[in-house]
Structure formats: structure tokens, C-alpha cells
Structure 1
Amino acid sequence: MTAPAYDAVRRAGVLRVRRPDTEWLSTGWNGGRRTADCAYNISVPEGWERTSLGPYIGDRLERAGFESTAGDVAGPALLTGVDIADARGARCGSVTAYATAGISNPAALPMEPTPTDPSESTAVEADDAGPGQGRGTVNVIVGTTRALASGALENLIAVAAEAKAATLLAETGFPGTTTDAIIVGHDPSGSSAAFSGSGTDVGAAVRACVREAVRASLSAHYATANAELPAAVDDATYGVSTTRRADVFQPMLASERSQPDS
């Protein structure tokens, strides 16, 4: 079997995904765009509560024998409570994806929420749910050998997130966890692609790869842990359910505004 275009190795609880001169976009810690040879997924121990993430990540990469420069992480990195041994990859056409998946901290989104008394709630608010919260997290790293036009790389985040949510809903009943994160990458020197939506070759391949990698990692994780997937938020070690409701409104016509637009 030939190595995928975005090759990966596991060592000391770190998954390194490598392709030279890749432009990455990350939703994780210190995210955004960055050109680097590698992206990383790092497993953290149970009870881990570090807040100084840069030095911690640099130390973990160094201990694993992966480069970091002067304490600065050489590429984007994600953190997970899932054992890196449970990581799985999938490839289709120009796309390769890697995932680690655990659902100890599910985030449910009921369509008919029942409001709860805030004084009785023990749920963690989303703003407080840091990378060490729970032993779950669904992390996905996706790379394509195509060169994506401006905006198409950002859109790939949405495509991967949609595929992750659809897969998790089918497998677990939850669209995600409180700490999910995604890294996408493309090859600026590759064959150009103007768009990356679900109807494109790149988008369709991302959807297939994310589905297969997330399902395989989820299966491996729960087989290894000899545990069952939580059936509801209350069955999970950690978790939240969005019981709030928002006010719905229709945007005004310009002619209805009392003051002219500035």
C-alpha cells in the first residue's frame, strides 16, 4: 500500500501529519492560517488541566522526537482526550483525513429544547469548555493535494464539520462534543480548485474521508476502552445540551428603517 499524500506517524501520544509546504487553517488553539510541513494531534492524560498550551505542546513534540523551534510550535496542533492509538485515517482522490473520536463530553442540540433553571444546571458553558474538559473530543485533520482558491480553504472547514456532525448523529445521536476542532490543509503548488463545496470533487472526497475516519476511530476508541457510547447527555461523564431559545425576527426592508443607512 502506497503512503498517502498526507503521511502520518504516531509516537509518544502524538500523531504527526506531514506534507511539505502545506498551507493549513486550524480552528484549534492558536489557530488560523499557517504554512508548515506538519500538523499535529496530541493526546493529553486524564485529569489534564494545563492552560499554558504553547510550552506544553512544544514539550510534547520534543519528547516525541518531532521538531519544535525555540518553544514555538512548528505547525498547527490539536489536543484530545482520546488515545492516539485510536486515530484512524481515510483517503479518497486528492484528500486524506485523520480523526480521533470520543464522546465523553457530548454537545446535544435538541430541536424542541426544554428550558432549565440556570441555578440547577451543572453544565459547562461553551466559553469555559477548554481542551482538557472531559476525555472526549472529535479532532479531524484533512489535507488535499489541490490548490484551493481564496475562500475555498475556509469553506473546507464547513464541509468537514458538516460531515463530522452527520457521521456523529448517525453513530451517536450527538452532532459533536464541547471541544471538537478541525485542521484543513492544501498544497499551494497543486492543481487549482476554485471551490470546495459538497458538490465538488474535493468536497465530496472530504465528506467521504471524514465519515470513514471518524466512524473507524469511534469504533476503535470504544472497543479499546471496553465502554458504551452515552445514549444521552446525562449518561456522559461531561456534556451539555443547548436548552436556550433565541428570538427569531425578519430583517427590515430598507424603506422601513427610521434612520437612513450611514
Structure 2
Amino acid sequence: MTDDGPGSDPAYDAVRRDGVLRITRPDTEWLSTGWNGGRERADCVYNVSVPDDWERTDLEQYVDDRLERAGFGGDDSGPALLTGVDIEDARGARCGPVTAYATAGISNPAALPMDPEGKPDAEGDSLPGRVSTLEAGTVNVVVGTTRALAPGALANLVAVAAEAKAATLLAETGFPGTTTDAVVVGHDPAGESVEFTGSATEVGAATRACVREAVRASLQAHYDDGEFSLPESVDDASYGVSTDVRAAVFQPSVESVPNER
């Protein structure tokens, strides 16, 4: 397979069927931050849309059942993400050696105010938490490159994709993300070797562009029909959190260099 170019098919092809998006490239190594994530070698990765008020906890069985129902049960199953966004709102983008797909909804925003009202948590006490349902939210991003990435470069691509997702969401919605976002990145172990994927590299720059366009397009598809509306604040959202606690800032201590013996 060759890199994408104008008018070419994506190197990471995708099809929608029965609420499931299947993204395919043979013998890809994936790194997922989602449920049951980590590194995995497989031909496919999936984004599965769940219904409103979904409360299943047997995630493995649920995913298996959905893939079987969609006719993907016999495939070389790989990582799977779950989303409250309709798969019809999924959008893809390609640039050079990178293809990205996204589904984006903001019913459960995760705000990070720069001037929080809380007091510093100097004692490191555990903070109150909550488990958010998917509802109509979650921003899932899948990025694939035809390059063969070094282990650190593949891990760094998660950070590059997450940064691009956050920057796009801030510009479009005022929030950097939701409570249930996930990223999957993949590379071709047989491709041209690449040691780095920072924002100034070919793969990093292409990833940033692809994620920006795919997330923006999915947001437009999700909200332009009028069924859903973007929340103006966490309080205005169906679900969501704002990190109002302050962390205690400290400077690492200085230690003298041991005398050489």
C-alpha cells in the first residue's frame, strides 16, 4: 500500500454498519487508551455506538455481540472504543502518511479552569470522582500512519493526537474534552521507519491536521441537524465535570553529588 494522495483511497479504510465503524489495515500495531487498551496487533479497530441510557458493564461481551450483529464477528478483532455519538456522524481526514477518524459529542464536557476556586490539596487526599455515562457525548479519535514507528514514537503519537483534539475542541466548543474521550493510534510495522512523531515531524504534523479536520467535521455533523445543542458550560450540560481543585505546587529538593570513590 502507498501513502494517501489527492484522489486516492485512505490507507486505513473504514466502513459503517449497524452502528459500528470498522477501520482496517492488515497487520497493524495499535496502541489504545480506551477500554481494554494497550498495544495490540490486529487488522481492524472499531468504534461502537451505544444507545441512550446505556448502562452495560459486561463490556467484552457487549462489544463481541455488537460486532457479531454487524457482521464483523469473523474479523481479526482489535481494539474497540465505545461512543454515545451516532456512527453516521463519524468523519475521516487524510494527509500524507496519516489517516484519522473521529466521532465527537460534548454532552459530558470536562472543563479545566485556569483560575480554580478550590484550595490547594497539599496533603494529597483522594479527590471526589464520578463515573460519567456515555449519553450523547465522548470524543473518540483513531489515527493510523503508513510509517513504521519506534515504540516511543507510537506512544508520543497518542499525545500529539490528544493535543490536536483538545485544541480543536477548545476552539469549537470552549472545552478541551469530555469525561470519556479515548485515542487509538496505529502504524505499519513494514513501512518506512520513523523515530519521532512530534508536531514538527511529517507524521506529527499530518496527525494534527487530520485530527483537527475529522473532529471539527464530526462536531458539525453531530450538531448541525438540531437534535443536540452544544452546552455553554458544565452546569448547562447533561453531564460533565470541572476540575476546580487546586494542586499544591512545590520545587524539587536539591541533593549534592556524592563524592567519587
Question: How many residue pairs align between the two structures?
Answer: 246
Letter in 2 for 1:64: A
Q: CA deviation at 1:48?
A: 0.3
Equivalences for 1:79-158 in 2 at 5 Å?
79-115=82-118, 126=129, 128-129=130-131, 132-158=133-159
Displacement after TM superposition at 1:150 (Å): 1.8
1:250 Cα shift?
A: 0.4
Alignment of 1:155-170 (within 5 A): 155-170=156-171
Contact 2:41 2:78 in 1 (8 A): yes
3-state SS of 2:55 partner: coil
**TM-fit CA distance, 1:114:** 1.7
| Distance (Å, rounded) in 2 between the aligned partners of 1:226 and 1:215 | 17
Write the distance in 2 (CA, Å) between the matches of 1:169 and 1:250: 30
Alignment partners' CA distance in 2, 1:231 and 1:172: 8
- After TM superposition, give the deviation of residue 138 of structure 1 in Å: 0.2
* Cα distance in 2 between the residues matched to 1:43 and 1:175: 22
Tell me if structure 2 keeps the 8 A contact 1:155–1:197: yes
Q: CA deviation at 1:125?
A: 5.4
- Between the aligned partners of 1:65 and 1:83, the Cα distance in structure 2 is 18
Whole-Å Cα distance in 1 between the matches of residues 8 and 146 of structure 2? Answer: 15
Deviations 1:36-86 (A, max 9, x none): 0000000000000001100100000000000258xxx82000000000000
Shift in alpha-carbon separation, 1:225–1:79, aligned structure 2, 3 A = farther
Query: Percent identity among equivalent residues?
Result: 72
1:208 counterpart residue number: 209
Q: Which residue matches 2:52?
A: 46
In the TM superposition, 1:2-17 aligns within 5 A as 2-17=8-23
125 and 40 in structure 1: CA distance in 2 versus 1, 3 angstrom threshold: farther
Question: What is the distance in 1 between the residues matched to 2:134 and 2:92?
Answer: 25
Q: Distance in 1 between matches of 2:174 and 2:247?
A: 23
CA distance in 2, matches of 1:80, 1:133: 6
Q: What is aligned with 2:29?
A: 23
Contact map agreement 1:58 1:68 (CA 8 A) in 2: no
Contact 2:83/2:134 (8 A) holds in 1: no
Tell me which amino acid in the other structure corresponds to 2:10.
P
Letter in 2 for 1:191: E
Rounded Cα–Cα distance in structure 2 between residues aligned with 1:138 and 1:203: 20
**Aligned equivalent of 1:259:** none
| Letter paired with 1:155 | N
Q: Which runs of 5+ in 2 are unaligned?
A: 1-6, 120-126
Which SS does the other structure have where 1:254 is aligned?
Answer: coil
TM-score calculated relative to the size of structure 2: 0.90
For normalisation by structure 1, the TM-score amounts to: 0.90
1:164-211 alpha-carbon deviations (Å, 9 max, x no partner): 000000000000000000000000000011100101000000000000
RMSD: 2.0
Aligned mates of 2:208, 2:68 — CA distance in 1? 33
Q: Which runs of 5+ in 1 are unaligned?
A: 117-123, 257-262
What letter is aligned with 1:54? E
SS at match of 1:175: coil
Letter in 2 for 1:200: T
